[in-house]
Structure 1
Amino acid sequence: MKTGIIVSRRDSLRLGLLTGASALLPAAARAARVRGDSLPSTPVRWIDDAAPPLSLGQTFGVPWPQGALRAGNALSVNDAEGKAVPSQHWPLATWPDGSLKWTAHALPAENTPSASMTVVQGKPVAPRAPVLLRETADRIVITVGSVQWTIGKSGNSIIQSAKAGQRTVMGSLALIASVDSVPQGGERSHFTGRIDKATVEQKGPVRAVVKLEGMHEGQGRAWLPFVLRLYAYAGADHLRVVHSFIFDGDPARDFISGLGLQAQVPMDAAPHDRHVRISTGADGLFSEAVRPLTGLRRDPGAAARKAQIAGQAVAMDDMAPAVRNLLDRIPTWGDFTLSQLSADGFAITKRTKAGQAWIDATSGTRSQGLGYVGSPTGGVAIAARYFWQRHPAQIDIRGADTDQASLTAWLWSPNAQPMDMRPYRDVMGMEAYAAQNEGLDITYEDYEPGWDDATGAARTSELTLWACAATPGAARLAAMAQANATPPQLMVTPERIRAADVLGIWNLPDRSSPLKARIEDQLVNLVDFYADEVDRRGWYGFWNHGDVMHTYDEDRHVWRYDIGGYAWANSELSPDLWLWYDVLRSGRARAFRLAEAMTRHTGEVDVYHLGRFAGLGTRHGVQHWSDSSKQPRVSNAAYRRIFYYLTGDERVGDLMRALVPSDQALTHVEIGRKVPGAERKTLPEGVVDFSFGTVWGSLAAAWLTEWERTGDVRWRDRLIAGMDSIGRLKYGWLAGSAPYDLKSGRFIGPGDKISISHLNAVFGAFEVNAELLQLIDVPRYRAAWLDYCRWFNALPQEWDAHFSLPFGKRNLKDGHSRLTAYVARETGDAVLSTRAAREFLGGEAGLGLSDGDPRIAHSGPDFVGPTVEWPGVSTNAASQWGLAAIQNLALIPDALEWAAAEKRN
């Protein structure tokens, strides 16, 4: 290691150098780190501010101040009364000194969980009925109480069977898919998931996790790679299912017409004792028997009717002879379907059997996506999260009148039009770069033939699968559907997260003055505006849900959904980070769930997971893959890591790990190929031109996360190599980019030209640098970054007095005010802190701070429907204003007050 590079927390953090500035690291946390005191109190709360009626099992992350917790220390969880509850924990990340930075904690499923909890030192309590996992050569058996799941390690049965007590209530569960040869009226081929690899990731006692990987096979073809995780929690009669697949087909020939999970359900009761339940509205339930006894011309008797409605066995002696003797004359209904083909409408139909007509049963708006079939002696329920949000979805029950029914949760409904992954446009004469740049100039879309490719996009879905010992009551089924649709979530309190000094620069909400209250109000209003826009604008659908639009069209009063690069945001200018920092400081459920849905989308749909673009993401566009700019700034691990640390989510962990080698993709994907003007330099093999923010900063987020998660110093050393080499360039960060040697991880060349891009610091570079400079002391790099922060928003006359090179174009001034605030805080420069405050409050090239709530409601023929507009809003401006507001409140709170007073006067 080079002299002067110290891998540790900087002693020179300079907290509170500015008069009245809030210390970013509370004194108690600093003392705990230095003295090694007992662990800080760690309260945990439900994000909805109340205990849920049903928890399906919980996993949440806990941060620790550096030096406070050593690996191997035992941790427990207490309920609101201070009594230990069963728990299981494991490390997620470490500090450079080896102490634990994040731990994850799992709690059992409960009907009446505690209103709040606390993580404490001590040996965790084991559950009364722990999760037991046994692995053999060909299967994995998980037992939770009286429920037993047998999971395949190869073949087509993902789950081979499920027992409740001594009875097998479920046969095999398989992944199924179909594909059509053309969008309409084509030949349909069917596929079944095949397990190629099974990995036990956790064995209990509170939580067990099994990871299955494979392909869908059929018609002599293997495709649609999948990863499936099955989670078992103590106290539960269910498995949580996290299903991920990659579209690896040909968009011009492969039109997916069905994608789902299908369970086989043994049926051995009399038809009138077989029951179907399908969730409808928020707590509504479609409840019917295969052979109905109610509504008949002859009354079977109150006891018989009551038992059937409750899902209980009907005693034949309780049935009136006039009905009992004619049961065979009552039609049995074997097949049921709920189709949710849009976000605002579903229909339930049923038929007696194949070959007979379908009968309309009922319809509604938004089903919660749970289906059940079974009898008083057991059955199966399955539910898909985001069911109506990711339409077209479907629940099918088939053969309920036979010895074996099937229950299918369709993630893509076979009743809908097949999935069309083709480009939305043709070449339009833009074969050459000159014409493509003209297209970019008019529609803001970067287009190149063949680069608008959906092959490699992925989607993750979350489901819950229950093995029921009896038909659950209506209230229980409604609670199950709700717990799956809106999963309760525990989160460490924002105060406790802040005290751990993790995840960069932010502070708790502060309404101690009118100005701060205005800023806090706008932060709340912005999140609420976007959460409401999701529903008002219908930002739903299998591939769209979780993203938001980029820019608003004030003439049409719609977002520019059909205009090139102005359509879907695809993480442009870091809305993901804005929302997650809002979550960190507020803990609000609405912000959490908006950010969670965005993370599920942007890390999967907007990123390539195989093929030539693997590891890169797609710039904003009409389709999530339509823009030909493929860059690390979109696949950025910085956008996933906060969710990962708050929840311990393994799928997001996989996605971030897959990005670690993604710099290699840039050897064959030239992301700057269309830049007009001078000929691009020919670089040696293995050397690629990297911008410092949009490329290296995005890759650094993946390396930082991998170093934290594994302790592998290779990634620390790669970070140091990049940091040190940037610091050695003549103009450091102001050079903007430089040739990068992929093998050594170092930038090469003199860096003797200044190139300042308004994009370099707005894709997580500010946030990643805040963490890098906390963890790794590379003096040259720190100086280079502070120079960049100082000069980006400098006045032209200040620049000219210092540099002999032209000032150049600037943009996003209010968003970049946090760079000025950072150097002011780091150097104790009160003049810079005042400048930063003026930049932020000036609102130049940004959203600006409103005086009151700017939202305006509209209706009438000039609008598609009831509309709310925020004048001048764009997702770029909202994201950067939100981040600047959060970070400036932490860095220069008193300077903001002074600048506001100056502005008033």
Structure 2
Amino acid sequence: MTDFSRRHFFKTATLPLGAVSAVGGLAPVPATAASTAGTAPSAPADADPQALRWLDGAAPALMLGATLGLPWPRGAHRKGQDFHALDGQGQPLPLQSWPLAWWPDGSLKWTAHALPAGVETGAAPSIRAGKAPKPTVGARVSVKEGPTAVEVDTGILRCHLPRQGTQLIRSIERNGREILRGCTLVAQVDDKPDAEQGPVTQTALDSRIRQVTVEQSGPVRAVVKVDGQHRSAAGREWLPFSVRFYFYAGAESVRIMHTFVFDGDDQKDFLRGIGLRFDVPMRDALHDRHIRFAGEAGGLWAEGVRNLTGLRRDPGAAVREAQLAGRATPPLEQWGPQVRKLHHRIPAWGDYTLSQLSADGFQIKKRTQAGHGWIPAAFGRRAPGSGYVGGISGGVAFGLRDFWQRHPTQLDVRHAVGDAAQVTLWMHSPEAPAMDLRFYHDGLGMETHEQELEGLEITYEDYEKGFGTPVGIARSSEITLWGLAATPSRERLVQMAAAVQTPPQLAAQPVRYLQAGVFGKLWSLPDRSTPARRKIEDKLDFLFDFYAKEVEQRHWYGFWDYGDIRHTYDADRHEWRYDVGGFAWDNSELSPDLWLWYSYLRTGRADVFRFAEAMVRHTSEVDIYHLGRFQGLGTRHNVQHWGCSAKQARISTAAYRRFYYYLTADERVGDVMREVLSADSKMDEVDPVRKIAGRVDKGPWPARIGFGTDWGSVVANVLTEWERTGDVRWRNKLLRGMKGIAAMPRGFFTGSGGYEPTGPNEGAFHNVSGDKISASHLSAVFGAVEMMAELVDLIDEPAFKAAWLQYCELYNAPREQQVKALGAPHGGSPVLSVGHSRLTAYAARQKGDAALGQRAWREFWADDPRGLKTLKTTRVAGPLVLNPVEEAPWISTNDTAQWGLAAIQNLALVGDQLVD
């Protein structure tokens, strides 16, 4: 397949704005859990498969531009296919399209589509194949690349992005007037976590640009990526960052995705604050300058820099009403005479701070200027993280997503009385304690693998000295900036705050994803037509709703934590085991990510999507190493997200990210999936079973790799890269592995093999186990089931398919059947037999074996033969707990994820064998 870069295509595209860019022949450019509780309605099962919908049910109040991914059945559209968009009335809309993934035959599998800002959104638009007439909307985004800067024009805003220096944005102009200037990144780092160990020295950092890349240049959507590092005045460069700017045609806003990676010394570098800072020119009289902060439940804190209300003398109702509304006040001569004469004696307030230091409390304070005391102004519970500074002649609205969920956060406005106000959006508040990323215990005397295994035996923590390092973890944050011609109305600013916290997202109907045949054909639409089906669907809903409520009830919030869930419950303490080794944070253990995404695909529920989105943002950043010794690997569950010594591909696997990438075309997640392509090259250096005595040696080969948790994860990484690029190299790597497994004496029951991660024979397996039979209960529960289903469907290799079907049929099979087929029992633990029932179901479906399908359901129902797992919670209050809680002690995340996946997949595969 011919490889053109996306950048080249859009630079040379001359199609009218309404016609879609031809997506054929393009290889995608190399790139990049919510607290809502309660059951949300599913998408209609009888909806038009081609109809799009707004994820959250209603058209957004503000259309800032939208991007979504759409699937296509194999062979439906070849390269060169055009697409067009129509609004709810059938009128053409501007559209920009590009490919995300390809089927093996070269046809389009996933495409991405962008719609401009400002279009009517009374009904969700539709996107169809074929050319469209030129739309009536004429706005377009344009990009000019120069030797020193990149200039982007949305038709409303003109943004100048320097290629070098400290400023990410030199200026944003509207109607020829500068609205924003001097945008940089700032950070503060302490040399000690607190003053208990002596005086703390604080160092300030700013941004230094290394590279600016135009990834898209219109006509509807432009994307510019800025890479660099933070630098101190002494010249130390560290904390690498990547910032993407998103521009839509007709937009008065800019979306920003900011990512930084921690690469300091966790014993010496205690990051206190990290933020985005810019200046806003202030041209209006002090009484016509306005400060706004959004509050909870649609509330707004709104004041003038020099307030004209509450004075001893009245300036007049028209003056007061205009200032409160953010409009120009009447001329001075129309004011009350005493206020007109003495208004210069009214204090002007230049500095403001909104700080959210916990999930349940924020404070607004203000002062006249530096050197004078702060005055408490207002308090609240949960701020949405948006505000405005400016005046009647223009200003900037700004917002930071997940503001209270990722506390501590902060919004600062300084010098509002001067010629330019300074705004800082702190992604981590400098008023909070510095980040202390050091490992949480001293090793407890564990120096050898034998001693470390003792620790695993008692606290389930896989400790190893030096492995619990944060070096290489990352965090991404979303920011939106508006360049406005005047102070927005109170109602409009509240709408902006809502758009920041819950960005409008277009989506397809669940039936469309199903009919396209993507993600392994392992799911079906909800069906409550029989008592047994209803029982399963009710439990699926109960389990998701339970976890959604637990996020709020247990306060699973915070800068590094938000998006993850806990692993195991402690019924004695009525608390999740947050402080017990490997029972604390889940870190994708046993694939809750997959459970959530398959749940979303089949239901279309917005709350499931938002929960899974928050999880992706967490697990793809915090739980994965993006540089350093463990780059490309993830960390097993632990008290700290990076604490466990098991650094494994089973956590970093693209299997958990690709759903979000294809549904939204998110470049940052695309970056991460490309980063983990190198994970298999770490298999020898960080062998997951290095502590186990008697493990199979790698032989003369570069590495030893297991067929399940290791290779299944690698398959997800490589398959995703193959379908994103169409590069036959990645198909060949998969095929070598498939052939190698099929050639093993016991197929998947060989357990592991010698492996070549790179080189001319990359991906090849070699037998180092002889005729040994081995199986692990973990091999299939980290995405292997789902990825093997896709692999078998995409690459026709009969011997491999036979080996996989043998594994699926025999894992849960009676002992005598294992002995008959293998010569001996495979030795795998039955502890996850319910989760493995979906393997039985897969074999039954592939073989057309009704008896095997019935066996799958018997295995599935064995989860709770006595009916003890009732779908209800119990309230615990009083001195037994700190706060009243609703608990279900029988729930664990391992069981929930695997039961949920088994329920979804068994219904799809052998639903016809389900009896009441």
Fold match (TM-score > 0.5): yes
Among residues 669, 686, 696, which one is paired with 1:652 in the alignment? 669
One-letter amino acid matched to 1:831: A
Q: 1:187-202, aligned counterparts within 5 Å? A: 187-202=201-216
1:256 has 2:271 as partner: yes
Find the aligned partners of 2:813 and 2:774 in 1 and give their Cα distance.
15
| CA–CA separation in structure 2 for the residues paired with 1:611 and 1:138 | 32
Identity of aligned residues (%): 53
Choose from 153, 158, 162 the match for 1:143. Answer: 153
**What is the Cα deviation at residue 166 of structure 1?**
2.1
1:106–1:207 contact (8 Å) kept in structure 2: yes
CA drift of 1:121 comes to: 2.1
Shift of 1:679: 6.7
**Map of 1:423 onto structure 2:** 439
Give the counterpart letter for 1:792 in structure 2.
Y
Q: Could you report, residue by residue, the CA deviation over 1:200-251 in whole angstroms, capped at 9, with x for unpaired residues?
A: 1111111110011000011210100011000011221110000001000010
- Which range is displaced more, 361-370 or 79-88? 79-88
Match of residue 303 from structure 1: 318
Aligned twin of 1:544: 561
What is the aligned partner in structure 1 of residue 774 from structure 2?
755
Cα 1:350–1:469 shift into 2, 3 Å: same
Where 2:896 maps in the other structure, the secondary structure is: helix
Residues of 2 paired with 1:841 and 1:106: CA distance?
Answer: 45
1:165 shift after superposition: 1.1
2:907 matched residue in structure 1: 889
- Give the TM-score, by structure 2 length: 0.92
Relative to structure 2, which stretch is displaced further, 135-144 or 624-633?
Answer: 135-144
Q: Which residue of structure 1 aligns with residue 702 of structure 2?
A: 687
- Choose from 586, 605, 608 the match for 1:588: 605
Q: Is the 8 A contact 1:52 1:112 kept in 2?
A: no
Structure 1 stretch displaced more, 539-548 or 516-525: 516-525
- Name the CA distance, whole Å, in 1 between partners of 2:127 and 2:529: 30
Aligned to 1:213: 227
Q: Within 2, Cα distance between the matches of 1:705 and 1:553?
A: 38
Answer whether contact 1:75 1:121 (CA < 8 A) is retained.
yes
Question: Match of 2:109, SS?
Answer: strand
8 Å Cα contact 1:160/1:171 also seen in 2? yes
CA distance in 2, matches of 1:853, 1:668: 45
Q: CA deviation at 1:141?
A: 1.0
1:683-731 deviations in Å (ceiling 9; x for gaps) = 33x5211111111110110110111010101000000000011000010
Q: Which amino acid is 2:227 matched to?
A: E
1:810 aligns with 830
Which residue of 334, 340, 359 corresponds with 1:343?
359
Amino acid at match of 1:577: L
| 1-structure distance, mates of 2:311, 2:144 | 50
CA distance in 2, matches of 1:753, 1:848: 38
Higher alpha-carbon deviation: 560-569 or 828-837: 828-837
Selected match of 1:73 from 74, 78, 81:
81
Residues 89 and 616 of structure 1: CA distance in aligned 2, closer, same or farther (over 3 Å): same
SS in structure 2 of the partner of residue 659 of structure 1: helix
Do residues 118 (structure 1) and 126 (structure 2) align? yes
The reply on whether 1:181 has 2:199 as its aligned counterpart is: no
User: Which position in structure 2 is the counterpart of 1:61?
Assistant: 69
Q: Which deviates more from structure 2 when the two are superposed, residues 397-406 or residues 71-80?
A: 71-80
CA deviation string 1:710-765 (max 9, x = no partner): 01010000000000110000100111211112232111016521111000000000
User: Which aligned pairs between 1:473-492 and structure 2 lie closer than 5 A?
Assistant: 473-492=489-508
SS in 1 for 2:412: strand
Three-state SS of the structure 1 residue aligned to 2:296 is coil
Structure 2 CA distance for aligned equivalents of residues 668 and 658 of structure 1:
18
Q: CA separation of 1:852/1:431 partners in 2, compared to 1, >3 Å: closer, same or farther?
A: closer
- 1:854/1:871 contact within 8 Å kept: no
Task: Say which SS state the counterpart of residue 830 (structure 2) adopts.
Answer: coil
Q: Structure 1 residues 62 and 843 mapped into 2: Cα distance closer, same or farther (>3 Å)?
A: same
Q: How many residues align?
A: 855
Q: Which amino acid aligns with 2:690?
A: R
1:607 aligned counterpart, secondary structure:
coil
CA RMSD of aligned residues (A): 1.5
Match of 2:805 in 1: 786
Q: 1:142 to 1:849 in 2, by over 3 A?
A: farther
Give the residue type in structure 2 aligned to 1:249. Answer: G
Distance 1:482 1:235 in 2: 20
Is contact 1:843–1:849 with CA below 8 Å preserved after alignment? no
> Structure 2 CA distance, aligned partners of 1:623 and 1:515?
40
Offset at 1:554?
0.7
Deviation at 1:418, TM superposition (A): 0.5
Q: Which residue of 2 aligns with 1:32?
A: none
Q: Deviations over 1:64-89 (max 9, x none)?
A: 00110112211112222222222211
Q: CA deviation at 1:164?
A: 1.5
- State the Cα distance separating 1:863 from its structure 2 match: 2.3
- Matching residue of 2:689: 672
Please say which of residues 792-801 and 208-217 is displaced more in the overlay: 792-801
In structure 2, the residue corresponding to 1:693 is in which secondary structure? coil
- Contact conserved, 2:103 with 2:723, CA < 8 A, in 1? yes
Please tell me whether the aligned partners of residues 574 and 763 of structure 1 are also in contact (alpha carbons under 8 angstroms).
yes
Q: What SS does structure 1 have at the residue aligned with 2:607?
A: helix
CA offsets 1:749-803 (integer angstroms, 9 cap, x no match)? 1652111100000000000011101100111110110010011001123223333
Matched, 1:152 2:169: no
Matched, 1:319 2:339: no
Asked if residue 841 in structure 1 is aligned to residue 841 in structure 2, the reply is: no
1:839 and 1:55 mapped to 2: Cα distance?
49
Residue 865 of structure 1 deviates from its aligned partner by 1.8
Q: 2:720 maps to which residue? A: 705
Q: Check conservation: 2:87, 2:120, Cα contact below 8 A.
A: no
SS of residue matched to 1:282: helix
Following TM superposition, by how much is the alpha carbon of 1:681 offset from its aligned partner in structure 2, in angstroms?
Answer: 2.7
Contact 1:53 1:112 in 2 (8 A): no
CA shift for structure 1 position 114: 3.1
SS at match of 1:482: helix
Which residue number corresponds to residue 395 of structure 1? 411
Q: Residue 115 of structure 1: CA displacement?
A: 2.2
What whole-Å deviation, never above 9, does each CA across 1:262-319 have from its counterpart, x for those lacking one? 0111112111111101111131111011111000001011111111111122222222
Which digits, 9 at most, give the CA deviation of each residue in 1:96-115, with x for residues without a partner? 11110000111122375132
Q: Is the 8 A contact 2:775 2:826 kept in 1?
A: no
- The answer on whether the counterparts of 2:749 and 2:826 sit within 8 Å (CA) in structure 1 is no
Q: Give me the whole-angstrom Cα distance separating, in 1, the residues matched to 2:885 and 2:93.
A: 47
Matches within 5 A, 1:445-460: 445-460=461-476
